[in-house]
Structure 1
Amino acid sequence: MNATQTFICQSDLINPLATMGLQMSCILVLSHIFHLVLKSIGHSGPIAQILAGLVLGPSGLSRISKIKEFFYQPSAYDYYSVIGFFFSIIFTFQLGLETDIPYTVRTIQTAATVAYCGILFSFVSGGIVSIFLYKHLEFIGSNYFVYGLFVIMILADTAPQGTARMAAELKIATSDAGRLAVSCSLINDLSCILLFCLIVSLNSGKGFGHGIVCLLITIGMIFIIKYLVKWFNRRNRNQKYLKNTEVFVILSLVIAPSIIIELMSFNSMVNCFLIGLMFPREGKSARTLLFKLSYSLHNFILPIYFGYIGLQFNAEYLGKVKNVVLVLIIVGLSVLGKICGTLAAYQYLKLPLNEGLVMGFLLNLKGHADLVLLGGISKLITWTLRSRDLLTITIVLNSVISGIGIAVFMRREEARLAHRYRFLEPQDTDQELRVLACVYGSRHLAATIAVIYALRGSKTAPIAPYLMHLIELSEKQKSLKSYHELEEDELNSEENYGGNDVLEINDAVDAFAVDNKILIHQLKAVSYFSTMYEDVCDGAEDLRVSIVLIPFHKHQRIDGKMESGKEGIRTTNQRILRHAPCSVGVIVSRGPAGVPGFTQILSGSVQHVACLFFGGSDDQEALACSKRMAAHPMVNLTIIRFVSMSSSLSAGSSNVEDDVYFTDFYNRYIRSGQIGYVEKHVRNGAESLGILREIGEMYSLFIVGKGKRGHSPMTTGMSDWEECPELGIVGDILASSEFNIGGSVLIIQQHRNTNV
């Protein structure tokens, strides 16, 4: 990379570095101000950051000669290029590290179709643009074919950095549309970069030889980092995170080969992405890098990264009407080409065209790679500064116009892209299940992971589990700091903010990932019990989960009795049940001699599970939950349906719904022999209670719906001694200290449109 070579050879490093530091500070301040203003009208952070760069650049304050002399030192451009290069390395590496590999594999055909349709249409519009530009701009001894290819690539390229950041800002990063957009942008960007490298190779005698060297360097570095990470994980077995020196070593091994590849005139973004993609996900190394990089990336690196794009905008070029017309034509063809291509792909795939329009704008976002391509053109063809300014302005305006378009259409499509599956009942077992499991400490972990493992169903069924560690904020803490401040300061104390529980939870999650190839994404919520439910509900909404799993506030002693924990846990659970934006499952961990039998599923033992069906929407949700578990090879499921023999029971509409739902369930799962079935006829609650006592030792897990507090003859009298009404009548009985059973209990509450 020319900028790197020039930077290394500079004789005066201090003055440009000082002004660059001040300029970065100004970008951070202005971008924050713009973000506060634009956020209220639906615009995202990247647009505010690009505008901050525009204000500080040659089109804004730098038009003043004194400011320009101070901000733009003779070698400042090389410094900004180097900083942008390093920022791009870090972001691309983290993008690979955060890539959802199972989702990407499942949707690779759809993502490739959308991405390459956009590229194809952009090739057409880019070809028209290149012909138009070649006639109106001055080129000296240029190769028209090479020039045309570069213009096409610039118009066809999509910045995954901008797409991922925009999706996160709009809170659609966890939606199908948001994840598909990031996958499409990655395919798009990597394809354009590989084409760029191919052109460089064809125009250089040593190109192919250098390309093979770059490939070998990347493969070798992947293996080196893989074994180094495993060693770091073993070395820090009793630590929560890696040491800063170890993090520095890993990042150095990412940056060093990237510099070598750039010095060979190739782009290093593919190298960085592959290293991040192949990075071992389980263990302390990945957890530490995600924690260390995420805060710096979103609060420092990305604002400067997008601000640097805005700095390239030079409005002096737009002083003539002819130039304005040129810019409008190019930007219009660029945006139109990408949108038409995306809509064509959505029409072919029979996907909603409204989402395709939003996708088209997302895939039109530009970034650092496009500026790199501009530098690549300069190495192969000779052109004027006017030509470069034109394409630079096009890149910046594309991103700004796309950001505005996304904000406008998101207002119209917000409901369509909102939380889609808020409960389990409408989902098939082959659809991805998104689960948010909460634990207050390591005591709740084994039963929670066992339920997650069972909910996965068959080995091919997709699941996206999240584990949120709920940590009580000490009353001694006067003001709630950001979690990253807590993590570095107070959270290191073993007595507060999780203590040894953090280490035990990390180790258990890592071991589970190694044994079962299921990656559990970890989160933390540090707050007072009075507001902790808000963190859980907000997390469930942002992650678009279908069910939240919470542990019961009581735990079983060795003698089988249930002992109450902190009262704050119970009140938090009650508020989650009232306010959750999806279904909720309460896990009561029970078993013989105080050891939950259902946790043995983690060791490969077949578990007998019973789903109790009395009727109602919650029991229907319990059936939906159980049918997923039935597909698990280590689960033997039996449905036990309680049928009333009392003539006083009225055949209301809810019973008709139960019959219709259960008949469909019976025909699909029970008749085929996949699930066992037992029918119990009872007259009153006493008979129901007797049956529960009979089967209490037969199963390691009972699944039951919470149920509304009605007056069904099947449960009459069972609530006379209720202890925890938030569990429902049957759930309260099964969790009672006076009712000793040999299995754990999962009480399900289906999401309702109104609070209950």
Structure 2
Amino acid sequence: MANQLCYNINVTSANEFWQSDTVFEFHLSYLGGQIALILFLNRLFYYVLKPLRQPHFVAEILVGFLLSRDLLGSHHLIEKVFPENGVLTEEAIANIGIAFYVFLTGIEVNPNAILQARKKATCIAIAGVIIPMVTGSAIFGLYQLSSKASAASSSQEDNTFKAYIIWALAISATGFSVLARVLADLKLLYTGLGRAALSAALITGLYNWFMFLILIPFVMNGSSGIYSVLSTLAFLVVCFCVIRPLLVRFIDRQTEQESIEPQHLMCVVAGLILCTHITDTLGSHYVVGAFVFGLIIPHGKFADYIIDNLDYFGASILAPVFFVLCGMRIDFSNLKTQWFLSLVTILLLFTLKVFSTTVAALFFGMPTRNSMGLGLLMNTKGVLSVIILNIALDGKILSSSSYTLMMSAILLMTIVVSPIINYAYKPRKMFAQYKLRTVQKLRTNVELRLQACVHNTRQTMGMARIFEAFHSTKLSPLHVFALYLVEVTGHATSLVLAHMEDSSSHLRFQNQTESQAEFEKISNTFDAFAEETDATKVETHTAFSNYSTIHEDVLNLAEERQTCLILLPFHQHSTADGSLETTNVAHRDININILNDAPCSVGILVDRGLGTFSKGNMHILMVFIGGPDDQEALAVAWRMARHSGVKLSVVRILLFDEAAEVDTSDRAESHGLLSATMDNEQQKDLDDDYVSSFRLMAVNNNDSITYFEKYAHNSEDISAILTELDKNQYDLYIVGRGKGRNLLALSKLLEWSDYPELGAVGDILSSDTFGSRSSVLVLQQYGSGVGYGTSIQYADNMNLDKDDPDENLGVYTDNRDKV
């Protein structure tokens, strides 16, 4: 039985509240100190748990448990900070905070997603709700029977009908917003497993809220709950059919006029308070009103404005007070006499959602490993489960021991998800290895898969011209995975949802956020390119993440899609006078991180207006010096030469004397397996063989391809040759980065380079001092850089659905011929 507290409050006059109990001296001063302590401990616990990638609410509940009277063993210490006669003030702030938290969660959710969901995701979600509800109630019944003889059992649970409902709802819920953050932290958000989990969790979350709306009124009001349910449903109809259209019209008008002002935010807060009051008056819980009000706010600039301004105050300052108070109500002393029964019950509750989701996923043909991962992810709990348990404890439906048992189960379910997934389902471990990681190893009759990253619309035309130059045919189709990279600057989950739902297609243009409008333009540009030929397919996605870790999303998607080339934009763009101007210095860090760990070959495009040249015609010069990167660059140029509008010139710079000396200084790097096992002469033999093959098969059979040689005796000769070649005004240079060659002349050039990620030759061609107006494509072959080495494995004959990559969890099929 929970402790019953009585408060002795001195009131001078019943009508003069501000004269009661020294409001300013006691309540406000204590409240400020309590919030400060809570926030400090929250951040401390969050950073302690950060290696385990735990959600914020887990740290907040654990802080509450740390501050509980039973854990500290002394009522005097905790009484100094959390006096019993101040609990009403704390709970009032906690309720306001959780209302803001649920409101922001409602904004993140698109109710149309449940109507547009695929049958597979819907069935998995339903199985993950219904089965845990039924079996969870059965486990509660067994727990009640087993604990009847225990002195710790409470008579208030003898009438277990309401308790059955509480157990069923709490155990079946999935914390969608919490799961989204977990997936983002684990860098699984853009994998097949992440998309499947997020889709199923969204549907499950909406079902959970609907069940909450239907069943909780009966828990709170008994048989009269039917009137609360009907009146609340009527309120929902009014909100969606009357209020939402008016809101959409008003927000569209204000957004079009760019007149979103702070007073509009105050109106939103007033609407939130009004909706919570209405649902509370109707006999439902007040958070229903907060969630529904969030649902009717249309996605777009106005929604992002609300999130940016209310997230920190509501979700980061006030809401933690609620979770901390929940943790303070945990009392393990009541479970001491039946700890074994409690442990068994917690383990059984833990397996319900995992088992039901896994079975459903297996039924639809998902691999066993991915099905289990999906079941584990769907076991993530969130705010709804915590709210349900607090309703039960406040209404004396659950005893303190049952509350502690259920809260422990919820914490366990959520805590173990991130460590297990991070260990067993790390993206690089999930994806089957594949051999065709380079363009050089790719046969001409095999689909070419490229991943192109862009940061803005300016970069799309140059990328599209590169796609066009590859000249896709039915025999050798082109599959492009375009990735629009957006830095997270606000509420992470709302950005995640914008990607997952592709909500930009459902918004009027004036109500789109800047990133949504940019994504639409980028997508339209690439779609227009794809429509020009039946042999080209383009998929455009958005990656929202912090710039310090967004490269992991790029690498994971490239690994999953089994691309053989990642195309990146240079961090500088061309100005009107032809010089290069920095777009964002952080873009350079992204490129370097991708070069270091790429699972395939990488190309960096220095675009000097490549997309403005006449369509279908391009004059390319490929500069070949030697090494695996140059071989990859020649392979790319050779493939582009198949296009009827491309004229290719290949110049091989032969090195003699000083220029041919091998760099044996301490600054020379280890460049992978090739450089570790072959000396410079052996590498030169490989270069000779590949160039000879190119001349025999390409130059002699195609009038649009020319080949010539230049001789260099020192590093100055290389610069002079490039200056002479630039007089021909080529549209595009294709060069290798040079990671596979240890030549003293190139090492000297690199010492003067501004951007080593372009290599010695690429840096010269791209520098403003060189004076070229030509674009430059710098290639790094997989295996010549750091990170992956040259290990090659096969991934053939995998029985997955190639036409539906979203359904493939972690592996993409490609029954290719081995080279």
Please give the range of the TM-score, normalised by the shorter of the 2 chains: 0.5 to 0.7
Task: Describe how 1:592-631 pairs up with structure 2 within 5 A.
Answer: 596=609, 598=611
Find the aligned partners of 1:510 and 1:79 in 2 and give their Cα distance: 38
Match of 2:453 among 417, 420, 435: 435
Match of 2:135 in 1: 125
1:374–1:388 Cα contact (<8 Å) kept:
no
Match of 1:230 in 2: 252
Check conservation: 2:99, 2:287, Cα contact below 8 A: no
Equivalent position to 1:186, from 182, 199, 202: 202
What's the CA shift string for 1:493-548, capped at 9, x where partnerless? xxxxxxxxxxxxx9975654565667997989xxxxxxxxxx85543236656557
Aligned to 1:466: 485
Contact 1:597 1:742 (C-alpha < 8 Å) held by counterparts? no
User: Quick check: 2:170–2:388 contact (8 Å CA) kept in 1?
Assistant: yes
Give the Cα–Cα distance (whole angstroms) in 2 for the partners of residues 81 and 554 of structure 1: 50
* 1:208 maps to 2:221: no
Q: Is the 8 A contact 1:613 1:619 kept in 2?
A: no
Higher relative contact order (CA 8 A, sep 6+): 2
Q: C-alpha separation between the residues in 2 aligned to 1:623 and 1:105?
A: 47
Counterpart AA for 1:148 = Y
Q: Deviations over 1:329-348 (max 9, x none)?
A: 43222101112123324434
- What is the rounded CA distance, in whole Å, between the counterparts of 2:371 and 2:116 in structure 1? 19
The structural deviation recorded for 1:54 is 0.6
Cα distance in 1, alignment partners of residues 142 and 692 from structure 2: 67
TM-score between the two structures when normalised by the length of structure 2: 0.61
Unmatched 5+ residue regions in structure 2?
A: 1-14, 469-476, 491-511, 525-539, 559-565, 655-680, 712-720, 788-819
Q: 2:167 aligns with which of 148, 151, 157?
A: 151
1:401-550 pair list within 5 angstroms: 401-410=412-421, 412-413=423-424, 415-416=426-427, 435=453, 437=455, 447-451=458-462, 463-467=482-486, 512-513=518-519, 538-541=549-552, 546=558, 549-550=568-569
Question: In the TM superposition, what whole-angstrom CA distance separates every residue of 1:248-306 from its partner, at most 9, and x where no partner exists?
Answer: 334544554344334334467677667667756554x3554454355556753564454
Give 2:317's match in structure 1, choosing from 300, 307, 312. 300
Residue 153 (structure 1) shift: 1.8
Q: 2:349 aligns with which of 307, 310, 334?
A: 334
Q: Which residue of 2 aligns with 1:475?
A: none
- Structure 2 counterpart of 1:257, one-letter code: C
Give identity over the alignment, percent. 16
Task: Pick one of 691, 702, 708 that aligns with 2:738.
Answer: 708
Quote the offset at 1:465 in angstroms: 1.1
CA distance in 1, matches of 2:99, 2:130: 31
| 3-state DSSP of counterpart to 1:682 | strand
Structure 1 Cα separation of the partners of residues 266 and 96 of structure 2: 17
Q: Is the 8 A contact 1:704 1:747 kept in 2?
A: yes
1:309 aligns with 2:326: yes
Aligned pairs for 1:35-434 within 5 A:
35-39=46-50, 45-61=56-72, 64=75, 67-68=78-79, 70-71=83-84, 73=86, 75=88, 78-79=91-92, 82-93=95-106, 95-96=108-109, 108-133=118-143, 135=145, 136=148, 147-170=163-186, 172-173=188-189, 175-199=191-215, 200=217, 203-205=225-227, 207-236=229-258, 243-254=261-272, 256-266=274-284, 283=301, 285-293=302-310, 295-296=312-313, 299-300=316-317, 303-319=320-336, 321-322=337-338, 324-351=339-366, 353-354=368-369, 356-374=371-389, 384=396, 387-410=398-421, 412-413=423-424, 415-416=426-427
Q: Distance in 2 between matches of 1:384 and 1:37?
A: 35
CA contact (8 A) 1:620 1:658 kept: no
Number of equivalent positions: 642
Letter in 1 for 2:410: S
Q: What is the alpha-carbon distance in structure 1 between the residues aligned to residue 360 and residue 450 of structure 2?
A: 23
Deviations 1:302-333 (A, max 9, x none): 644543432331334324x24x3453343222
Structure 1 residues 706 and 26: alpha-carbon distance in aligned structure 2, compared to 1, 3 A threshold? same
Q: Which residue of 1 aligns with 2:686?
A: 652
Deviation at 1:619, TM superposition (A): 7.5
Contact 2:550 2:590 in 1 (8 A): no
Change in CA separation of 1:290 and 1:151 when aligned onto 2, cut-off 3 Å: closer
Change (3 A) 1:456 1:394: farther
CA deviations 1:89-128 (Å, max 9, x no partner) are: 244145338x9x99x9998555434433332441342132
Q: 1:214 to 1:150 in 2, by over 3 A?
A: same
Distance 2:430 2:620 in 1: 27
Question: 2:707 — aligned with what?
Answer: 682
Alpha carbons of structure 1 residues 220 and 608: separation in structure 2 relative to 1, 3 Å: farther
Check the 8 A contact 1:282/1:513 in 2, yes or no.
no
Q: Contact 1:537–1:580 (CA<8 Å) still a contact in 2? A: no
Considering only aligned residues, what root-mean-square deviation do their CA atoms show, in Å?
5.9
Larger of the two Rg values belongs to structure: 2
When residues 277 and 403 of structure 1 are mapped into structure 2, their CA distance, relative to the original with a 3 A threshold, is same
Corresponding residue for residue 495 of structure 1: none
Take 1:42 and 1:556, find their aligned partners in 2: how far apart are those partners? Answer: 43
Change (3 A) 1:204 1:122: same
For residue 109 of structure 2, give the secondary structure of its aligned residue in structure 1: helix
- Structure 1 CA distance for aligned equivalents of residues 102 and 409 of structure 2: 23
Contact kept in structure 2, 1:448 and 1:587, CA below 8 Å: no
Question: Deviation at 1:55?
Answer: 1.5
Equivalent residue number for residue 4 of structure 1: none
Query: 1:741, 1:515 → 2: CA distance?
Result: 30
Give the letter aligned to residue 95 of structure 2. V
1:365 is paired with a residue whose SS is coil
